[in-house]
Amino acid sequence: MKVRVAVFGASGYAGEELLRILLRHKNAEVAAITSRKSAGEPVSTVFPRFTGAPLVFCEPDVEAIASKCDAAILALPHGLATEYAIPLLNAGIKVFDISADFRLRSPEKYKEYYKADHPAPELLRKAVYGLPERYREQLRTADLVACAGCYPTSSILPTAPLLAAGLVSPKGIVVASCSGVTGAGRKVDLPYIFPECNESLKAYGVVGHRHLPEIEQEMAVAAGVPEMAINFIPHLAPMNRGINSTIVMDAMPGTTLEKIGEVYAQAYGSEQFVRILPPGRTSDTKYVFMTNTCEIGYNLDPHTNKVIVTSCIDNLTKGAAGQAVQCMNIRFGLDEAEGLL
């Protein structure tokens, strides 16, 4: 079986990574790639690495594209997904949205952080959160998948099992994350040009970043509490791709390194895309570069009684395109790792 996949926003960074994965995927066929600026151009004009692939960018014309695909992956700037998702869903296409548009369950939180009413709150209820290690069963039947964000993926995977097992307190958690510059998209904008971000490491959005409610939402589900309040401190790091999140949590009484290791082994021992390092080690973006893996290291500091975990992903793979394809593989009953190893 070949799933016919349309990629909306294929000329961006997430789009490029989707094409890299989908072109080697045994059970997927790229049915359409969209870009307004490059419509009519062969894919190699924008990405020479795909020279030889018989793909030409087209306008994001939903009706024309819906008739020739089974799945649509939306790699568009946030705020646009609803206008594409509704007609695609009506045409029976499975939709995998890489943007943030359907990730928050609460329309009120969406309004607070995205400064607009959600255009289709009923779709927030319908969407399944696209983080396979947490929602695999629901993904098997999902029509609309809200792929987890990049910072949230790196934050939720290492914390959820510890919160669920009661090894750490849900109060007072601090997540400090560093992202490569491709996280900001393929655009020309002063803070992201080479002289500005090279040889520089800088925090931004230290209060109220738009990924904060997404991380809190999923941590609260894991902890079994109605709401959580954490600090999320993103940084722009002078590298192209990769995210490292360092997460500091209060250990609950009786928490030991051994227990943390056991909980991780139970949660992720059979997961193909989560690597738990031996106790005392820290994760490194170098070892997840261009992979769909989340690498997690864990430590316990007896001096302050804090659990300190580090977690690395490639923002474009496990943080975006790889995650979307992993969700698509699950939804279509394919080998979950197809195209991703």
Ligand X SMILES: CC(=O)N[C@@H](CCC(=O)OP(=O)(O)O)C(=O)O
Using DSSP bridges, classify how beta strands 294-301 and 306-313 pair: parallel, antiparallel or unpaired: antiparallel
Tell me the CA distances in angstroms from 226 to 145, 216, 222, 223, 255, one per residue in order. Answer: 23, 10, 10, 9, 24
Dist CA 146 CA 110 (whole Å): 14
150 in active site: yes
Nearest C-alpha neighbor of 173 from the set 158, 192, 188, 190: 158
Between 131 and 160, how does the x/- string for binding to ligand NDP read (CB under 6 A)? ------------------xx----------
Strand-pairing partners, residue 146, are 97, 129
Q: Which does 234 bind (CB under 5 to 8 A by kind): ligand NDP, ligand X, none?
A: ligand X
Interaction between residue 184 and ligand X (CB under 6 A): yes
Interaction between residue 197 and ligand X (CB under 6 A): no
Query: How many other C-beta atoms are found inside a 10 Å radius of the C-beta of residue 187?
Result: 9
- Cβ 13 to ligand X shortest distance, Å: 9
Between 198 and 217, how does the x/- string for binding to ligand X read (CB under 6 A)? -------------x------
Contact 150, 313 (CB under 8 A): yes
Strand-pairing partners, residue 56, are 42
| Piece in contact with ligand NDP (CB under 6 A), picked from 126-134, 183-191, 224-232, 272-280 | 183-191
Interaction between residue 125 and ligand NDP (CB under 6 A): no
Find the distance separating the first CA and the last CA of the chain, reported in whole Å: 19
Q: Closest CB to ligand X among 132 and 149?
A: 149
Q: Closest CB to ligand NDP among 196 and 262?
A: 196
Dist CA 130 CA 147 (whole Å): 4
- Cβ 184 to ligand X shortest distance, Å: 4
Interaction between residue 7 and ligand X (CB under 6 A): no
Among 158, 234, 322, 339, binds ligand X (CB under 6 A): 234
User: What 8-state DSSP symbol labels residue 186?
Assistant: S
Strand-pairing partners, residue 245, are 177, 311
Interaction between residue 182 and ligand NDP (CB under 6 A): yes
Among 12, 60, 183, 297, binds ligand X (CB under 6 A): 183
Interaction between residue 76 and ligand X (CB under 6 A): no
- Cβ 129 to ligand NDP shortest distance, Å: 14
Interaction between residue 76 and ligand NDP (CB under 6 A): yes
Among 30, 43, 100, 156, binds ligand X (CB under 6 A): 100
Contact 50, 44 (CB under 8 A): yes
DSSP 218-280: HHHHHHT-S----EEEEEE-SSSS-EEEEEEEEBPTT--HHHHHHHHHHHHTT-TTEEEPPTT
Active-site annotation holder among 150, 197, 294, 312: 150
Residues near ligand NDP (CB under 6 A): 9-15, 35-38, 60, 75-78, 80, 98-99, 149-150, 182-183, 185-187, 315-316, 319-320
Site of interaction with ligand X (CB under 6 A): 99-100, 149-150, 179, 183-184, 211, 234, 236
Residues carrying an active site annotation: 150
